[in-house]
């Protein structure tokens, strides 16, 4: 029996934990091996810098925000970069009300979490959080610091 592979909503190019320039070279090389019709996203995480990623976005459909909670506080900068270059922005692992709210506040095109997959009660709770209108601002640009060598929360 032959199976036909469908096209996902998004797919993340394999990555390695940020390690200078190597993370970009590693992810970019994968583009030659992966199905061209799929919407490939570049994962960004702690240690990555806006200017590095900005120069590497050709061939990617969007930016996939990973990393630590502290790094996720810089989501607005990554969303701005993605949209400035006509790319989508995905906020990964938004499994708490605060993270869902931050994803909404910064204008993420999408977000997800494995939190609702464990049991129906969690699914219902997650759906409730997701449907809620944004509350008071959790984070603001005044709490984010952009350093010449990268981003820090």
CB proximity list for 56: less than 8 A, separation 6 or greater: 24, 27, 28, 42
Residues 114-151: pLDDT tens digits? 888 888 998 888 888 878 776 655 555 444 444 444 44
Kindly tell me the burial class for residue 117, based on how many C-beta atoms sit within 10 Å of its own C-beta (0-12, 13-18, 19 or more). Answer: exposed
What's the chain's average pLDDT?
A: 83
Contact indicator for 71, 153 with CB cutoff of 8 Å: yes
More confident residue, 13 or 113: 13
3-state secondary structure of 31: coil
CB proximity list for 5: less than 8 A, separation 6 or greater: 35
CA dihedral 60, 32, 151, 111 (to 10 degrees): 50
Sketch out the chain's domains with CATH numbers.
14-28+35-134 (3.40.50)
Residues 58-103: pLDDT tens digits? 999 999 999 999 999 999 999 999 999 999 999 999 988 888 889 9
- pLDDT at residue number 124: 87
Radius of gyration of the chain (CA): 16
C-alpha span between 38 and 52 (Å, rounded)? 23
Nearest to 49 by CA among 30, 12, 74, 69: 74
C-alpha span between 93 and 149 (Å, rounded)? 26
C-alpha span between 112 and 93 (Å, rounded)? 6
């Amino acid at each position: 029996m032959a199976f036909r592979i469908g096209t996902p909503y998004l797919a993340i190019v394999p990555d390695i934990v940020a390690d200078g320039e190597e993370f970009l070279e590693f992810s970019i090389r994968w583009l030659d091996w992966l199905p061209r019709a799929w919407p490939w996203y570049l994962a960004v995480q702690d240690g990555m810098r806006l200017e590095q990623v900005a120069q590497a976005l050709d061939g990617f459909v969007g930016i996939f925000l990973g990393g630590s909670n502290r790094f996720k506080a810089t989501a607005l900068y990554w969303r701005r970069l993605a949209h400035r270059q006509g790319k989508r922005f995905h906020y990964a692992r938004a499994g708490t009300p605060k993270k869902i709210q931050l994803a909404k506040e910064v204008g993420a095109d999408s977000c997800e979490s494995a939190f609702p997959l464990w049991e129906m009660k969690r699914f219902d709770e997650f759906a409730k959080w997701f449907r809620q209108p944004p509350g008071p601002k959790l984070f603001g640009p005044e709490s984010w610091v952009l350093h010449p060598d990268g981003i820090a929360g």
